[in-house]
Chains A and B, each alone.
Chain A
């Protein structure tokens, strides 16, 4: 599904190398987790994959189902099936949540040569999905993320993911700032989307999200590289001993 090879990235404005050769392959139907200390480059990886400005790829490649992601505009990546649940979801005053989602959905459909969704079908769909995530009608009407609590913002990201049905989902610290109930809702939302045709890359700081979303593979990222990969037990090791041991071990 997602194949990243030797991906090296520096900041466009500064001479600062952030990713120093990332190798990672996420197969369809699997969930991979990335853990790692603050500042190791996890968010940068997610931004570069989704096409945010400000970074310069200095080496390597990233393919989505064999297509060169790095060559596409962000909207083309989305239409190709890539989705990033943001660590810090963006507030857009003046744009209603529903308008936002319908515009996005139809734009993707149009880009893929599909027909637009009718207003009625859209409404039915969003009501059903919102209900599962305990997102009320008011939240759907309000401007995108404006005045939302931290947990509401994250649930809103998962709602977007559920509506857009991407092939490859990247979740950047979707668990941060969530209480136990919200964590459950979010995990259930993610688990409901788990599917043989879909890949997940779950970036997290803590083991606790992985209690709910059982990963197939866990990677440890440090200083712009994947330094260790393993099974779910790797996450438990981090939880128990922190990163220090692993980092000394690989150093």
Chain B
């Protein structure tokens, strides 16, 4: 009997154009399992509680909405002055010509599809594992979609102290590119690596990074999301942090019509540390700006510290969202959890919505969270002006001061200075018009 004509389910509509990439049997299995998760969960809609403040429609629709490539040459790439290993993707495709040799003392680096084609590879234990764990208690279907269909990516295993950072450079050249990248980072005991990410990547970008920081390992992440005004991105960082290990992630975002950055971190070993921070500059003048930071940190060990520091400067109708949770499990005593999300609204048209959450099942913990929305401090502004600093320059100075607490989360001084200088330049450029 013929089924009655039906409006196609949006999840199936998205899946229709995608094919599961080839790979070793285990990889194929991981991808099929992920596809099963996507189908079971369904792609998100505005009706989902977790997407209450951000409309996922353009992230889930079948084709990527067009995004103009914004003057790729008029800005000096970030971290130019830093000695690093460059890994370049153009519209989500690895470019061997533009990339450095994937070799460095202390690191094993492979392309994702090469790792996933091998019968035996360390990636087997990680691919899709953190993502699957991160689906509970909140569903993250776009991450499962990524695990199923990611076409490219990089896998990094740190076995020692990496001599320099690895920089993932995401170039955007095609107005309709729809990129799905999946990266893996495994930090072995006592090892340390810094991963940098720079660039708009594609018209629409779905990125997933799974990170396993073993006991006493250290992972640093500094990201600058490209300023192409029309680009869209949904990114997930899934991490497990072992005993006395360190996880530190900082993101700066200037423009982009739609950005949803999720961090899902499980603090699994005693005396571990996890910090996530973000500094966003949103200006609706260049088109719509919507930026959503969604963070879920689970404390499941004793004497651990976590910090969430998110700052947003919004003007001309820009929208900011923060959803941040600290979950302290039973037995996770002596937890020190800190969360702050603040927005600086430079006009009445812009908006900020925050949903800070604490859920605590241990009694010996210190957890604090705060969220504020404010305008520029008029008293400070007048003080600066009375010393001769013009209003717009004074506003920029106060804006950078507002972002400072987030920027200070970057541990490396050279990287921190680079990011701070870039934010200063962006503001200056804007001021000059």
Chain A interfacial positions (CB closer than 8 Å to B)? 50-53, 73-75, 77-79, 84, 86, 89-95, 99-101, 103-105, 107-108, 111, 143, 160, 164
**Known A75-B388, A107-B388; contact A92-B393, beta-carbon cutoff 8 A:** no
With A94-B401, A94-B402 given, is the CB distance from A74 to B386 under 8 Å? yes
Task: Please determine whether A104 and B402 come into contact, CB atoms closer than 8 angstroms.
Answer: no
Whether the pair A78, B387 counts as a contact (CB closer than 8 A) is yes
CA distance A50 to B382 in the complex (A): 9
* B384 interface hit (Cβ, 8 Å): yes
Main secondary structure of the interface of B (DSSP, over half): helix
Q: Are B393 and A103 in contact (CB under 8 A)?
A: yes
8 of the cross-chain contacts (CB-CB < 8 Å) are A50-B386, A74-B385, A78-B388, A92-B401, A94-B402, A95-B397, A103-B393, A164-B388
In the complex, A108→B387 CA distance in Å?
Answer: 8
Q: Mark B354-389, 1 if CB is under 8 A from A, else 0.
A: 000000000000000000000001111011111111
Q: When the two chains form their complex, are residues B386 and A95 in contact, meaning their CB atoms are under 8 A apart? A: no
A189 to B390, CA, bound (A): 27
Does B405 interact with chain A (Cβ within 8 Å)?
yes
Interface assignment of B139: CB less than 8 Å from any CB of chain A: no
Cβ 8 A contact of A74, one of B377, B382, B393: B382
Choose from A52, A84, A89, A107 the contact partner of B389 (Cβ within 8 Å).
A107
Q: B95 contacts which chain A residues (CB < 8 A)?
A: none
The listed residue (B385, B400, B401) touching A73 by CB distance below 8 A is: B385
Judge whether A84 and B398 touch: CB under 8 Å.
no
Could you tell me the distance in whole angstroms from the C-beta of B175 to the nearest C-beta in chain A? 39
B100 to chain A, nearest CB (A): 35
Choose among B378, B384, B397, B398 the residue that contacts A53 (Cβ–Cβ < 8 A). B378
A150 and B398 alpha carbons, distance in the complex (Å): 23
Q: Which of B382, B391, B398, B405 contacts A95 (CB 8 A)?
A: B398
B385 near A78 with CB under 8 A, answer yes
Nearest chain A CB to B243 CB, angstrom units? 35
List the B residue with the shortest CB-CB distance to A99. B397
Give every chain A residue within 8 A of B391 (Cβ-Cβ).
73, 75
Q: For chain B, which range describes its interface: under 10, 10 to 19, 20 to 34, or 35 or more residues? A: 20 to 34
A164–B383 CB distance below 8 A: no
- A50-B386, A92-B380, A94-B401 given; name 16 further pairs at CB < 8 Å: A73-B385, A73-B391, A75-B386, A75-B389, A78-B385, A78-B387, A92-B377, A92-B383, A93-B401, A94-B402, A95-B398, A95-B401, A100-B387, A103-B389, A107-B387, A164-B388
| Residue B404 interfacial (CB < 8 Å) | yes
Question: When the two chains form their complex, are residues B383 and A111 in contact, meaning their CB atoms are under 8 A apart?
Answer: no
Instruction: Report yes or no: B401 in contact with A104, Cβ–Cβ below 8 A.
Output: no
Which residues of A are found within 8 Å of B388, using beta-carbon distances?
A: 75, 78-79, 104-105, 107-108, 111, 164
Residue of A with least CB distance to B402: A94
Q: A92-B401, A93-B401 are in contact. Are A104 and B382 (CB under 8 A)?
A: no
Query: In the assembled complex, which residues on chain A have CB atoms less than 8 Å from the CB atom of B387?
Result: 78, 100-101, 104, 107-108, 160, 164
Partner of A94, one of B379, B389, B393, B405: B405
Q: Are A90 and B389 in contact (CB under 8 A)?
A: no
- CB neighbours (8 Å) of B379 from chain A are 90
* Given contact pairs A50-B386, A78-B388, A100-B384, A107 touches B398 in the complex (Cβ within 8 A): no
Q: In the assembly, what is the distance between CA of A120 and CA of B398, in Å?
A: 25
Partner-A contacts on B (CB < 8 A): 377-380, 382-391, 393, 397-398, 400-405
Give chain A residues whose Cβ lies under 8 Å from the Cβ of B384.
92, 100, 103-104
CB-CB nearest 8 A-B residue pairs: A94-B401, A78-B388, A104-B387, A108-B388, A90-B383, A74-B385, A94-B404, A95-B401
- In the assembled complex, which residues on chain A have CB atoms less than 8 Å from the CB atom of B393? 103, 107
Q: Tell me the minimal C-beta distance from A53 to chain B in angstroms.
A: 7
Chain A minimum-CB-distance residue to B400: A94
Q: How far is the CB of A201 from chain B (nearest CB, A)?
A: 15
A149 to B188, CA, bound (A): 48
Instruction: Give the residues in chain B near A164, CB-CB below 8 Å.
Output: 387-388
Which of chain A's residues has its CB closest to B405's CB? A94
Q: A104 to B389, Cβ gap below 8 A?
A: yes
Question: In the complex, are the beta carbons of A75 and B390 less than 8 A apart?
Answer: yes
Bound form: Cα–Cα A233–B273 in Å? 67
Q: How long is the Cα–Cα vector from A226 to B388 in the complex, in angstroms?
A: 29
Question: Which chain B positions have C-beta within 8 A of A86?
Answer: 383, 386
Whether the pair A53, B382 counts as a contact (CB closer than 8 A) is yes
- Bound together, the chains give a CA A194 to CA B384 distance in angstroms of 24
Bound CA–CA A57/B227 (angstroms): 45
Of B380, B383, B397, which is in contact with the most chain A CB atoms at under 10 Å from its CB?
Answer: B383
Instruction: For residue A110, give the distance in angstroms from its CB to the closest CB of chain B.
Output: 9
For residue B340, give the distance in angstroms from its CB to the closest CB of chain A: 13
Q: Is the CB of A90 within 8 A of B385?
A: no
Q: B404: nearest residue on chain A (CB-CB)?
A: A94
Q: Which residue of B lies closest to A73 (CB)?
A: B385
What is the distance, in angstroms, from A75's C-beta to the closest C-beta of chain B?
5
CA A61 – CA B85 in complex, angstroms? Answer: 65
**Least Cβ–Cβ distance between B407 and chain A, in angstroms:** 10
The complex places the Cα of A237 from the Cα of B389 at a distance, in Å, of 41
Q: Tell me, in angstroms, the Cα distance from A103 to B384 when the chains sit together.
A: 9
Contact residues in B for A53 (Cβ distance below 8 Å): 378, 382
| Residues in A whose Cβ lies below 8 Å from that of B400 | 94-95
Central interface residue in A79, A89, A93, by most chain B CB within 10 Å: A93
Give the nearest-CB partner of A96 in chain B: B401
A90 touches B390 (CB 8 A): no
Q: Which residues from B are CB-within-8-Å of A99?
A: 397
Return the chain A residue nearest B390 by Cβ: A75
Q: Are A107 and B390 closer than 8 Å at their CB atoms?
A: yes
* Interchain CA distance A160-B386 in the complex, whole Å: 11
CB neighbours (8 Å) of B404 from chain A are 94
- Chain B residue nearest in CB terms to A95: B401
In the complex, A104→B385 CA distance in Å? Answer: 8
Looking at the assembled complex, report how far the CB atom of B3 sits from the nearest CB atom of chain A, in whole angstroms: 62
Q: Give the complex CA separation of A79 and B389 in angstroms.
A: 9
Let me know if A75 and B383 touch, CB within 8 A. Answer: no
In the complex, chain B residues whose CB is within 8 Å of the CB of A92 = 377, 380, 383-384, 398, 401
